[in-house]
Structure 1
Amino acid sequence: MNINFLRISRVVALAIGLTAGLAGATDAMAQDTIKIGEINSYRAQPAFLEPYRQGWQMALDEINASGGVLGKKLEVVSRDDNGNPGDSIRAAQELVTREQVLLLFGGFLSNTGLALTDFAKQHQIFFLAAEPLTDKIVWEDGNRYTYRLRPSTYMFVSMLVNEAVKLKKKRWALVYPNYEYGQSAAATFKQQMKLAQPDVEFVAEQAPPLGKVDAGATVQALADAKPDAIFNALFAADLAKFVREGNTRGLFEGREVVSLLTGEPEYLDPLQAEAPINWLVTGYPWYAVSSADNQRFVDAYRKRYGTAPRMGSVVGYTALMSIAAGLRKAGSPATEPMIAAFSGLCLGSPFGPICYRAQDHQSTMGAFVGRTALKDGKGVMTKFVYVDGAAVQPSDAEVRKLRHAD
């Protein structure tokens, strides 16, 4: 087939696609609202996602009470994907075709997030991945239509490795859920520890299926390896079972534990007096962060819901606030203007200012790193510092090697 004909055909197809997208956006703008699709695993992961839903609902009401965006109210049409990538795609398709939303946000698990990332690429629709942590969303499987809010697995692990090397422990054991997030967390931890501490040894790995940890067998296998320290990436119910069994069998006595996400209230609060002591963790100590941005958010959230915010609350709130900021900058909910608007987009958040990198579409939202402790019969974070996400992201040159899109 003639090469020039192919080139012309592609240009025509792109022009038609852009025209259709802009026409759809114009139709949506002619209505009273801008419809936004949201997809998440509410039934599968309620501990994180109920606060998350409350967060974006609070943001939605604040935005609309102040006049909306571009003279229109925002409307969020939400769907549950049951923690299943196939259901994520079906929900996205239904939102786009039947509900006629012009952009999407959401996602919790890494596998559902990757499914939505691919959907965005295939259907050329803007997607903000709010929570999924897998690096692939902005690197190997990244695309021009997808941006991501929360720190990536690489960023979270980097925050902890910077502290883990100071422990000077040689023999490490690892435990993580056996799916994309856990596998990536373990691989990144080993890689970064080897670079920072060449004599490190990894003496055991346990990778139970997500949501199906056999805590007794897992804890015993780790104990049998006699590690000096443990890296943990379990979360939610798996984490609770692991902590309780580990406490019972004395796994953590005299051992350092470095743990992703454990300091988040969603996972620490349910353990109450059984919460681990002196683990090095990432999390959100909402009760002790004294910044004005956080205090305003906490006060507003408690006034509205009568309870304290969780990490999910921050993610949901900031995700929709990001979309509103992007809409204002873009001047339209159409895909191409939104893509351009998010490139370098900066806004405030409960954690302070964040920006979306043009290089890989990753935001600079950071996390708090500190130690766990018991206070008044429940787990808290102490001795924490906020690590800006920009400080733990790879260089532009590294990103170019990792990112195959664009």
Structure 2
Amino acid sequence: MKMQYRVLGTMTYLGLLASLVTAQAQGVIKIGEVNSYKAQPAFLEPYKKGMELAVEEINAAGGVNGKKIELITRDDNANPGDAVRVAEELISREKIDVLTGTFLSNTGLAVADLAKQKKFFFLAGEPLTDKMTWQGGNQYTFRLRPGTYMQAAMLVPEAAKLKKKRWAIVYPNYEYGQSAVAAFKQLLKAAQPDVEFVAEQATPLGRVDAGSVVQALADAKPDAIFNVLFGADLSRFVREGNTRGLFKDRTVVSVLTGEPEYLDPLKEETPNGWIVTGYPWHGIQTPEHKAFFLAYHAKYKDYPRLGSVVGYAMIHSVAAGAAKAKSTESAKMVAAFKGLQVSTPFGKITYRPEDHQSTMGAFVGKTKNENGKGVMVDYTYFDGAKFQPPAADVKKSRATD
């Protein structure tokens, strides 16, 4: 009998322990996040800091629906297969409530497809291909950043004002680069029907042969250049272009180059007068951005990069969606995100019901070499809501949603 009581007592203890663990788990909202940290540190280290700042702020204010937020991150090795594998692990093993993240467009699309298959809510912070929310968009995937169509639509009016007829194009040959070029060609041709695209250089991501690329562009004698390279590829391209005089008396229109992640490393090699999208953190004086900047600087003793804004706004978006849904169940999160409004360092944004794309915008301005440091000048913030395709076009592209 004593042994029986001892066994029953042990079982009761284990049962209570299991109940306690379950209760503790129910008091946390687990956000799973997948990204290419080792492959893209310039953007993703500040991005992670932005996420952590948001988590700290939300938890300090009492959490969401009475629950604290826990962030669990995984590296995808910049590989779509690995991205799907670690996302599945987060869902099945870590029992996350919400899936977020991805940087490269090909990994983002792979995780979006998994979200569709598993009917699991996914908020993509960064991947820019238009297939994330338009062609190929799905019910369970939402995106924060303005995609390639939106960024091209912001740049094309400036490009058309140049009245340059012969354009050359250089881009990384994967989903993001292809999507950006397709949007730019379509929109510039509509704005300036006589435009000609006289050279096109599609380079392997992270392995640009800058010398041959620059020479091929120079040989085509274009009037202007549209550049989509970023990161180390951009630095190599700029260095070789400066050396060979490619940019002399020739305008360059460039996606992302005004982001400090990519502008800062150029230093004294920064070209003057490129028309770019970016993030002039030093000059934004809105109350929302000032509050964000001060909190970020106080925590990290550093200035924010665009990645910091994306990570911060992404976590606050999840929190706002869960608060509205009063749940983290995927179906309820999807419903809550349709038309969801969120306060960000760039002001209020809305996740459009028809395509799940947020209205976050971007700054458009020019690069300037200021005492050996690259800065963005003559910039204007473009509201993303004004640079999205019509709802009817979106509906057609999402016909299989």
One of 99, 123, 130 as aligned partner of 2:94: 99
One of 85, 106, 129 as aligned partner of 1:111: 106
The residue identity in structure 2 corresponding to 1:176 is Y
Q: Which residue of 2 aligns with 1:16?
A: none
Could you tell me how far apart the structure 2 residues matched to 1:55 and 1:30 are?
25
One of 54, 62, 83 as aligned partner of 1:67: 62
Deviation at 1:187, TM superposition (A): 1.3
Deviation at 1:405, TM superposition (A): 3.7
1:268–1:275 Cα contact (<8 Å) kept: yes
Q: Which residue of 1 aligns with 2:375?
A: 380
2:271 matched to 1:294? no
Q: Which residue of 2 aligns with 1:49?
A: 44
Could you tell me how far apart the structure 1 residues matched to 2:286 and 2:278 are?
16
1:67-125 deviation digits (Å, cap 9, x = unpaired): 00000101111100010000000001100111011210001000000001001000110
Q: Which residue of 2 aligns with 1:306?
A: 301
Q: How many aligned residue pairs are there? A: 380
Q: Which residue of 2 aligns with 1:18?
A: none
One of 345, 348, 359 as aligned partner of 2:340: 345
Deviation at 1:276, TM superposition (A): 1.4
1:28–1:35 Cα contact (<8 Å) kept: no
Percent identity reads 64
1:250-276 deviation digits (Å, cap 9, x = unpaired): 000000100000000000001111111
Q: Which residue of 2 aligns with 1:139?
A: 134
The residue identity in structure 2 corresponding to 1:205 is E
The residue identity in structure 1 corresponding to 2:229 is L
One of 220, 238, 258 as aligned partner of 1:243: 238
Could you tell me how far apart the structure 2 residues matched to 1:206 and 1:285 are?
29
Q: Which residue of 2 aligns with 1:279?
A: 274
Show the 5 A alignment for 1:154-173. Answer: 154-173=149-168
Q: Which residue of 2 aligns with 1:317?
A: 312
1:142–1:404 Cα contact (<8 Å) kept: no
Q: Which runs of 5+ in 2 are unaligned?
A: 1-21
One of 344, 350, 357 as aligned partner of 1:362: 357
The residue identity in structure 1 corresponding to 2:327 is S
Give TM-score scaled by structure 2 length. 0.93
Going from structure 1 to structure 2, the CA distance change for 1:163 and 1:403 (only over 3 Å counts) comes to: same
One of 144, 148, 152 as aligned partner of 1:149: 144
Aligned residue for 1:287, secondary structure, equals: helix
Could you tell me how far apart the structure 2 residues matched to 1:279 and 1:302 are?
29
2:36–2:76 Cα contact (<8 Å) kept: yes
1:280–1:370 Cα contact (<8 Å) kept: yes
Q: Which runs of 5+ in 1 are unaligned?
A: 1-26
Could you tell me how far apart the structure 1 residues matched to 2:23 and 2:372 are?
52
Could you tell me how far apart the structure 2 residues matched to 1:221 and 1:295 are?
44
Could you tell me how far apart the structure 1 residues matched to 2:346 and 2:281 are?
10
The residue identity in structure 1 corresponding to 2:204 is P
Aligned residue for 1:353, secondary structure, equals: strand
The residue identity in structure 2 corresponding to 1:49 is L
Could you tell me how far apart the structure 1 residues matched to 2:56 and 2:195 are?
51
Give TM-score scaled by structure 1 length. 0.92
2:214 matched to 1:216? no
| Greater shift in the superposed pair: 186-195 or 378-387 | 186-195
Aligned residue for 1:348, secondary structure, equals: strand
Q: Which residue of 2 aligns with 1:124?
A: 119
Show the 5 A alignment for 1:260-271. Answer: 260-271=255-266
2:32 matched to 1:33? no
Q: Which residue of 1 aligns with 2:77?
A: 82
Deviation at 1:212, TM superposition (A): 0.6
Q: Which structure: larger Rg?
A: 2
One of 331, 338, 363 as aligned partner of 1:336: 331
The residue identity in structure 1 corresponding to 2:184 is F
Could you tell me how far apart the structure 2 residues matched to 1:216 and 1:28 are?
60
Aligned residue for 2:127, secondary structure, equals: coil
Deviation at 1:30, TM superposition (A): 6.1
The residue identity in structure 2 corresponding to 1:312 is G
Going from structure 1 to structure 2, the CA distance change for 1:82 and 1:28 (only over 3 Å counts) comes to: farther
C-alpha RMSD of matched pairs (Å): 1.0
1:115-137 deviation digits (Å, cap 9, x = unpaired): 01001000110000000000001
Could you tell me how far apart the structure 2 residues matched to 1:310 and 1:29 are?
35
2:136–2:397 Cα contact (<8 Å) kept: no
The residue identity in structure 1 corresponding to 2:222 is P
Could you tell me how far apart the structure 2 residues matched to 1:35 and 1:226 are?
54
2:392 matched to 1:397? yes
Deviation at 1:295, TM superposition (A): 1.1
Q: Which residue of 1 aligns with 2:193?
A: 198
Could you tell me how far apart the structure 1 residues matched to 2:135 and 2:97 are?
25
Deviation at 1:376, TM superposition (A): 3.0
